[in-house]
Amino acid sequence: MYGILSSIHDASSVFKNTSNKKDIVAWNAIISAFLHNGHGPEAIKYYVYLQRSGNVRPNSVTFVSLLKACSESAPNQTKLVHICIIKNGFESNAYIGSMLIDIYAKRGNLEDAQRTFERLSKEDVATWNSMITGFICCEHFEEALQLFTQLPKHNVKPNNLTLVAIMQACSDIFVLDGGRLIHSYIIRNNITLNTFISSSLIDMYTRCGGLEDAQNIFDNLYRKDVVSWNAMIAGYTQHGLGWEALCLFSKMCRYQCCKPDEATFVIASKACSIMTMLESGRCIHSHIVEAGHESPTLINNTLIYMYSTCGNIQDACHVFKRMSSHDTWTWNAIISGISENGEYNLASDYFRKMREGGVDPIYVTFVPMLSLCSQQGLLDEGCSLFRSARECDGVPPTVELYNCMVDVLGRVGYLHLAEEILLTIPFEFNLLGWMSLLTNCKTHNNIEVGKRFFDDLVDFSAAKKLNEISTWEKNQQHT
């Protein structure tokens, strides 16, 4: 009771004042109390006290609580808890084993996750689900698919969680044939197309390029909920079919049984950006206001992007100013939008306010501003921005960033300085940067320097090709 009321002090006092012979129920209660109130390390500490007491043996409930503590706030204690689980004979427990697999996988430790899986009975589908989702979590999608194919050998039938997970794996590596096999399995086994299954199928087909299949599933759904509508609208948007997405959004608004949610408005706003349809964007904005979804940061960030893409900086700035708080992506949206519309002074003003507000820029904050400096021949401003980017801890030295600076220097005729950057760039061969420099040589009619750059480019290309051939030959020798 005290643990649920968040009074850890009282819970601890009651526990300490009980008789010396505390049973496992009392120990589990105090461990659970600390866990419930976000004190994972303290929960594990009380397990140590339990062990020292010497007269009480932990049970499965104890270890479930300890693993929850590891998952939420004490991941470094997982292996120690795992050892205790083995010592107390609970490693074969399917639920505990699944929790261990999940924790290891989320930490990127697939080796221990697989080792745990191999020691478990293969009769429980939950165990398989944990390992499959573990592979997916670590982006080992092919291993997830391979594990799924082993289910029939162990007479295990996949459940909805299995199917949704494996469809995600197919989506992430764009395996349309694999997705169709899953769909075929669902049909053969008369599995009901509930929200999760239907939306996962639609998402899988759209991401793998099977828009027609996705539309057929959507059209044949007996009851369409907001998740299904969002999946189909998002599918058209992902493929650049903004008009089709907006038509579907309009149809959804007329569909009385289902109202758009925040995700719907975000997707529809992106569709307007694709089509640069300002009036449709304004219409969606009015829908957002009417539905009372004007506050969420993600919706406002998308509106800023939409208005900027449609060339309406005034409305983009209006949305920004009405927001009560701004995250990094809000600042990036407004700065990028203004930069892409060619207004450097205004973009610079927002950039300054971003820094003054204690928000650190990321590399995508700098790229559009540097591109604008290049287009407008703003050498000093470009150099200052590039220097700021290199001094920011959170900004990695990306090729895109360096290429922008090469173009800034090249456009104003500082060809040798641009060449120096390309020669000292901390990356492998950079074709785009050299092509940019050659273009600027042509612009400034500097044939002599351009010829030298061209020769360097040919040499670099040849060296890269020779290196690729050498690497391939070495690999062949080892196979």
Average pLDDT, the chain: 86
SS3 call for 262 = helix
pLDDT at position 470, please?
45
Residues ≥6 apart with Cβ < 8 Å to 338:
308, 313, 316, 317, 346, 347, 350
What is the DSSP annotation of 38-65? T-HHHHHHHHHHHHHH-S----HHHHHH
Tell me the CA end-to-end span of the chain in Å, nearest whole number: 64
Tell me how far apart the alpha carbons of residues 254 and 256 are, in angstroms, rounded to a whole number: 6
SS3 call for 116 = helix
Of 238, 237, 263, nearest in space to 248 by CA: 237
pLDDT in tens, 238-262: 999 999 999 999 999 887 678 899 9
- Longest CA pairwise span in the chain (Å): 93
Residue with tokens 């998308």: 302
Q: What's the mean pLDDT in 414-431?
A: 78
Say if residue 465's pLDDT is above 60.
no
Count the alpha carbons within 13 Å of 27 in the hemisphere toward its beta carbon.
26
pLDDT in tens, 177-217: 889 989 999 999 888 888 889 999 999 999 999 999 999 99
* Range with top average pLDDT, 53-62, 268-277, 403-412: 268-277
Of 210, 277, 279, 261, nearest in space to 238 by CA: 210
pLDDT at position 230, please?
95
pLDDT at position 10, please?
66
Contact present, 134 and 101 (Cβ < 8 Å) = yes
How many Cβ atoms from other residues are within 10 Å of residue 122's Cβ? 16
Q: What is the pTM of this model?
A: 0.78
CA distances, 3 to each of 13, 22, 24, 262 (Å) = 11, 17, 16, 35
- Read off the DSSP letter of residue 22: -
Model confidence band, residue 403 (pLDDT cutoffs 50, 70, 90): confident
Tell me how far apart the alpha carbons of residues 262 and 466 are, in angstroms, rounded to a whole number: 52
pLDDT in tens, 266-301: 999 999 999 999 999 999 999 999 999 988 999 999
